[in-house]
Structure 1
Amino acid sequence: MLKLVLVATILSLTIIQVSGHGYLTYPISRQIRCTSNNQNSIWWPENGDGIKDPQCKAAFQYVYNKYGGSADAARYQFVQKNEYSINIPDYAQGPSAMKARLPKSICSAGAVNKDVLFGDKSGMSIPYPWPATIIDGAGAGSKTINISFCATAVHAPNQWSFYVTKPGFNVATQEITWDNLELIQNYPTTQVPSTPTNNLCETSNAYNMAVTLPARYTNAVLVSVWQRVDPVGECFINCADYVFSGSNPTTSSTSSKPTTSSTTAAATTVSSTTGRPTNTTTSSTSSTTGTCMCPCACSA
């Protein structure tokens, strides 16, 4: 009987992931930070105590406790890593349409109910000292990086926009809302996928774009918005934490202006060779292989 349950579970996860569409690998998104560490067992114990990274464990247990101890509901945000999605059919009206349909739980793409489409991924939106990718830009007011978004399905036409949390935002204590986000860059015309820049991507396609990040010397959050240009208006939202290396060269804070193109938490460096996160504090444990997604292969 147990074997039948395991087989059914594996088949259901395979079906779920086929429908996925993508995720940020640089800077590394919250859900991929969790699923790329094979020390994070989402299967046993069912209450999430097998998850080693504290931020991932907190995300799991937030949803688990929300439904009185539902492991299936809590696992969904990890299993469905490819599809942090919300439908915005009136996207042509601009950011106001997106903000109206996604007023909160931004890092979960508004998925906060296990019984409806896209399930409950609200654990990824909780205030917590999430580890951050270190941006080597000490003393700079901004830095242009090449973001990489793994495309498990390619969609065209498309358009992209990027937001970051404003100066003074505290990722450990504050919920991310549109009021504490600022638009930094737009790609209003269709982007074409190319080769992934790191091995966190499980396919051969990735959207790689130059994005100018404003300097943040305490942990900040980059929010990527991938909008499909179609009648359904499928929109994919990912959150990635980042922080500039070094100390703030000035005590004054200034907001950045968007560019249009055709408490401090743990910090993380990302290998340019492997794409794997390596924490510079002891707040979480990283590995070079994926999350224990198959229950039959997990150790207790």
Structure 2
Amino acid sequence: MRSNKSDQSGGRSRSAVRQSLRGLVLLFAMVVGMVPWTGAAQAHGTIINPASRAYQCWKTWGNQHTNPAMQQQDPMCWRAFQANPDTMWNWMSALRDGLGGQYQARTPDGQLCSNALSRNDTLNQPGAWKTTTVGSSFTVQMYDQASHGADYFRVYVTKQGFNPTTQRVGWGNLDLITTTGRYAPAQNISFNVSVSGRSGNHVLFVIWKASHMDQAYMWCSDINIA
């Protein structure tokens, strides 16, 4: 009889454990269901043509960033990868929150290409960045993986005589050439710009004010105006 009672007690204990486990699994599922999925919100975008500095490095060297030839063929990207590979791996996340449109006041000279993010400071360094050849009028293309849309883009280009191989970009080096209107959410956005009156190597500087919240993105693209 004692053995039989023991078996019954053990059975009740196992049943209670199973019920407790089922309860925990259900609770966990409910908690997970209440947590918002943030994957899309963490993915953003950049100017892909003419390619921003980080995007150009990632596109050209992402699959071979340890290739020794990179040091001679693309020394600026080489330095950037050596300093912080995350600058290139996260080419679509160069953003700051809550600037309230105070871009110049809150972005010091010499830090425009990194959007004043210290982790991306190599993007501010002057040097022989690879350029995209453009005409006096061309189309700027942005890729936005999360389709945030835009309140506007502000597009600047460096003044004639600016030397991107020896100078960091400051506000005084730039001319505002256009401010666009709003764009509906889409992964691919493009707009036309004119840089007439300039020739040779320049930096195209673009600010993207995303529509989903007060997020500002800033990028430098190196161009050769032919």
- Pick the TM interval, shorter chain: 0.7 to 0.9
Given the alignment of the two structures, is residue 86 of structure 1 paired with residue 100 of structure 2, yes or no?
no
2:113 is paired with a residue whose SS is helix
Instruction: List per-residue Cα deviations over 1:103-156 (Å, max 9, x = no partner).
Output: 1311111110xxxxxxx01111101121211114xxxxxx32111000111224
Q: State which of 91, 106, 116 in structure 1 corresponds to 2:112.
A: 106
CA distance in 1 between counterparts of 2:108 and 2:211 reads 21
1:98 is paired with a residue whose SS is coil
- After TM superposition, which residue ranges in structure 1, 4 or more long, deviate above 3 angstroms? 15-18, 38-42, 48-52
TM-score of the pair, normalised by structure 2: 0.73
Contact 1:22 1:82 (8 Å CA) reproduced: yes
Contact 1:17 1:79 (8 Å CA) reproduced: no
Contact 1:161 1:183 (8 Å CA) reproduced: yes
**Which residue does 2:121 correspond to in 1?**
122
Aligned ranges 1:1-300 → 2 under 5 Å: 19-38=42-61, 41-42=64-65, 44=66, 53-61=74-82, 64=83, 74-91=84-101, 97-104=102-109, 105-112=111-118, 120-136=119-135, 143-156=136-149, 158-187=151-180, 189-192=181-184, 205-229=187-211, 233-245=214-226
Q: Report the count of equivalent residues.
A: 187
**In percent, how many aligned pairs have the same letter?**
25
Letter in 1 for 2:152: Q
CA distance in 2 between counterparts of 1:237 and 1:181 reads 14
CA distance in 2 between counterparts of 1:181 and 1:191 reads 24
Contact 1:88 1:98 (8 Å CA) reproduced: no
CA distance in 2 between counterparts of 1:17 and 1:215 reads 41
| Runs of at least 5 residues in structure 1 that lack an aligned partner in the other structure | 1-14, 65-73, 92-96, 113-119, 137-142, 195-204, 246-300
TM-score of the pair, normalised by structure 1: 0.56
Contact 2:114 2:121 (8 Å CA) reproduced: yes
Structure number with higher helix proportion? 2
Instruction: List per-residue Cα deviations over 1:155-196 (Å, max 9, x = no partner).
Output: 245211101111110001011010111100011x311356xx
- Provide closer, same or farther for how the CA distance between residues 215 and 88 of structure 1 changes in structure 2, counting only shifts above 3 A: farther
1:101 is paired with a residue whose SS is coil
- Provide closer, same or farther for how the CA distance between residues 175 and 145 of structure 1 changes in structure 2, counting only shifts above 3 A: same
| Runs of at least 5 residues in structure 2 that lack an aligned partner in the other structure | 1-37
